A and B are shown apart, each in its own frame.
Chain A
Amino acid sequence: MTTATLAGTRSRRITRPLQYVALLAYIIFLGFPLLFLLITAFKTPQELQSPTPAFLPQQFNVDNFTAAIEKANLFQAAGNSLFVAVLTTVIVTVISLPAAYALARFRTRLRGIATGWILLSQVFPFILIIIPLFLVLKQIGLINNLFGLVLVYTVWSLPFALWMLQGYVVGVPAELEEAGAMDGASRFRVLRTIVLPLLAPGLVATSLFTFISSWNEFFFALVLIQDPRLQTLPLTLARFVGAEGQVQLGQLAAASLLATIPSLVFFALIQRRLTSGLMSGAVKG
């Protein structure tokens, strides 16, 4: 054993405990707010108002969940959110699939333009887009209309979905298509029987990501939806915040937890792809 590795093990004996202390600090910083939200959702109004609140709830009390669902019209809001998110996801997936294929397989000027637009669209503050969009949608009667929201979400999540999906198309070897074409299969058949099955995981990841973005979105909904019956979940919850008293904290927490579940579940399904597949681009940059 060389002296260098000896020194390494010695310094490791000192740094390991420090590393665990740091890791624990991160776990508390990141995890405690989530834990506290969970705990609050199960507390009774009496417990919430107590001058010396106990950390854990005395019993497993689900009143907050039922009360929140009734009071905040959570079902209706969830229905609206679901409608908007699902429709957006379907439209985005259907129109981005051929476009992603074209961007990945044909080297035309389009590719450069698309990349440029995706980057550029990140820089502009949404206030610049939302005012004219508001005026346009008003003219065609899509303000206070869930279809108007679908339209905006489609346009807004398209660049990213497109970019994500074309990454997956690049991953499907062009040789497979050549082989299919040589065997006499038509272009459409090659796409349907060879390319599409291989793209399935990418399609799933892209559509789930689109769903999450639409489900979570707040700013456009705030501007475009005023009718309380058409509010999406983030809007309903944000309104709830203004009216909250100490007593309703439990209900607010319960409603928040319920509203997070769909995104969280979908995210759990795709996070490995998001973090490995997509990042490869960043790393090579």
Chain B
Amino acid sequence: MTSTAHAVSIPTTPKTEKQGKRGKRPKVGGIHRGGRDAWLLVLPALIPVVLFSVYPLAQGILLGFTDAKAGLNQAVTYNGLDNYTQLLGNELFWNSFRIGLIWAFGVTILQFFCALGLALLLNLDLKLRWLARTLALVPWAMPPVIIAIMWRLMLNPTYGPINGFLRSIGLPGDINWLGDFSTALPAVIVVGVWAGMPQTTVTLLAGLQNVSAELHEAAAIDGASTFRRFWHITLPALRPVIVAITTLDLIWNFNSFALVYVLTAGGPGGQTMLPMLFAYNEAFRYGNFGYAAAMGNVMVIIIAAFLFFYLRSQARSRLS
């Protein structure tokens, strides 16, 4: 979904609560009947989620093994792995997949470094810090469609200020950023970074504020340079936060749709055709529901594989 929709919350219960609550809870009036009461309270939320979220998802996965098409009274039959053998030979899809990976990794990595830099600055006692902080949060509240419209203005070949600036310093200022084969994907990635800065910055800043100040002081007295303190104290302390936020960013970016749909609609010539846009066209423009669902399945498997290896390697190096 849209990047604005997400706030960062990595569900973890603080340890102290767990210990504190177990002993106390049974005392609260009527709570020993906990199990049934809990189900009753959860039911109003559970029913719609199961009906319109769990069920469609299961259905969607199954649909990937059928030849379902749009339109009424279409007989749907299971065709096993036909969709996938067809997908294997679909160069357009794999090209879109490659673009999707470049986009997702490009945005996530750039976003991380930009956000880390900003978070480090915001953690210092600088003037104008409030302004940077406020500005860094604005993209979070903006609808992605409007972020895209705004950047279309910025990147407009004739009216846009970016070309205007290039012209004023004597460079060729007639670049069609979103329409040119070589610049479209990089331009779209820059917009993706802009749009996703808030969550990453805020999370990293919260992480930084939890890094022990005593350790820093002790290291400073021992004569460690700023860089060495950053490398040996800040970074290791920040590690869980970094792993969590880059994982989420990667998923969100890989699944993002609205921003690029409005910016380029996948053009020029499919240069920015993210897998989500490709599958959307397949399903709702050409009506190949089964085939599009199969693409969705492939996307899940590959992103899940990436996450598995990333999280496992992080868990391992944390243990060692």
The residue of chain A having its C-beta at the shortest distance from the C-beta of B136 within the complex is A30
Q: State which residues 124-162 of A face B: CB under 8 Å.
A: 124-133, 135-136, 151-152, 154-160, 162
Contact of A151 among B2, B48, B245 (CB under 8 A): B48
| B-chain residues with CB within 8 Å of residue A285 when the two chains form the complex | 10, 12, 240-241, 244
Contacting pair B137 A123 (CB below 8 A) = no
Interface bits B168-205 vs A (CB < 8 Å: 1, else 0): 00000000000000000000000000100100001100
Q: Report the bound CA distance from A110 to B9 in whole Å.
A: 19
Interface bits A168-201 vs B (CB < 8 Å: 1, else 0): 0010001101100100000100100000000000
A23-B129, A26-B136, A238-B261 as given contacts; A99 in contact with B146, CB under 8 Å? no
Q: Report the bound CA distance from A284 to B209 in whole Å.
A: 12
Kindly state whether residue A34 has any CB partner on chain B within 8 Å. yes
Q: Kindly provide the distance from the CB of B93 to the nearest chain A CB, expressed in whole angstroms.
A: 13
Contact of A127 among B206, B209, B258, B279 (CB under 8 A): B279
| A-chain residues with CB within 8 Å of residue B81 when the two chains form the complex | none
| B-chain residues with CB within 8 Å of residue A212 when the two chains form the complex | 4, 141
Q: Kindly provide the distance from the CB of A104 to the nearest chain B CB, expressed in whole angstroms.
A: 9
Contact of B143 among A40, A107, A234 (CB under 8 A): A234
A23-B132, A33-B154, A238-B261 as given contacts; A219 in contact with B48, CB under 8 Å? no
Q: Report the bound CA distance from A160 to B6 in whole Å.
A: 8
Kindly state whether residue B7 has any CB partner on chain A within 8 Å. yes
Q: Report the bound CA distance from A194 to B245 in whole Å.
A: 36
Q: Kindly provide the distance from the CB of A86 to the nearest chain B CB, expressed in whole angstroms.
A: 16
Q: Kindly provide the distance from the CB of B250 to the nearest chain A CB, expressed in whole angstroms.
A: 10
The residue of chain B having its C-beta at the shortest distance from the C-beta of A219 within the complex is B257
Q: Report the bound CA distance from A222 to B24 in whole Å.
A: 49
Contacting pair A133 B5 (CB below 8 A) = no
The interface size of chain A toward B, counting residues with CB under 8 Å, comes to: 122
User: What's the A-B contact tally at a CB cutoff of 8 Å?
Assistant: 358
A33-B151, A238-B261, A260-B141 as given contacts; A279 in contact with B8, CB under 8 Å? yes
The interface size of chain B toward A, counting residues with CB under 8 Å, comes to: 126
| B-chain residues with CB within 8 Å of residue A121 when the two chains form the complex | 53, 57
Kindly state whether residue B316 has any CB partner on chain A within 8 Å. no
Contacting pair A174 B143 (CB below 8 A) = no
Q: Report the bound CA distance from A59 to B147 in whole Å.
A: 25
Contact of B146 among A178, A209, A259 (CB under 8 A): A259
| A-chain residues with CB within 8 Å of residue B5 when the two chains form the complex | 157, 160, 213, 216-217
Contacting pair B10 A281 (CB below 8 A) = yes
Q: State which residues 220-241 of B face A: CB under 8 Å.
A: 220-223, 225-226, 240-241
Contacting pair B241 A283 (CB below 8 A) = yes
Contacting pair B10 A128 (CB below 8 A) = no
Contacting pair B30 A187 (CB below 8 A) = yes
Contacting pair B44 A95 (CB below 8 A) = yes
Contacting pair B245 A34 (CB below 8 A) = no
A122-B248, A127-B276 as given contacts; A282 in contact with B9, CB under 8 Å? yes
Contact of B27 among A130, A178, A237, A238 (CB under 8 A): A178
Contact of A101 among B41, B223, B241, B258 (CB under 8 A): B41
Q: Report the bound CA distance from A177 to B156 in whole Å.
A: 60
The residue of chain A having its C-beta at the shortest distance from the C-beta of B279 within the complex is A127
Q: Kindly provide the distance from the CB of B222 to the nearest chain A CB, expressed in whole angstroms.
A: 7
| A-chain residues with CB within 8 Å of residue B319 when the two chains form the complex | none
Contacting pair A27 B14 (CB below 8 A) = no
Kindly state whether residue A75 has any CB partner on chain B within 8 Å. no
Q: Kindly provide the distance from the CB of B307 to the nearest chain A CB, expressed in whole angstroms.
A: 7
Sampled A-B contacts (10; CB under 8 Å): A19-B126, A20-B127, A26-B136, A125-B254, A127-B299, A128-B293, A132-B63, A135-B289, A241-B262, A282-B8
With A24-B128, A156-B53, A268-B141 already in contact, 17 other A-B pairs whose C-beta atoms are closer than 8 Å: A19-B124, A31-B135, A53-B159, A94-B44, A95-B48, A102-B37, A105-B31, A108-B38, A123-B307, A125-B303, A174-B24, A175-B24, A178-B29, A215-B143, A241-B149, A241-B152, A264-B142
Which 4 pairs across A and B sit closest by C-beta, in order of nearness? A267-B141, A181-B29, A216-B143, A128-B60
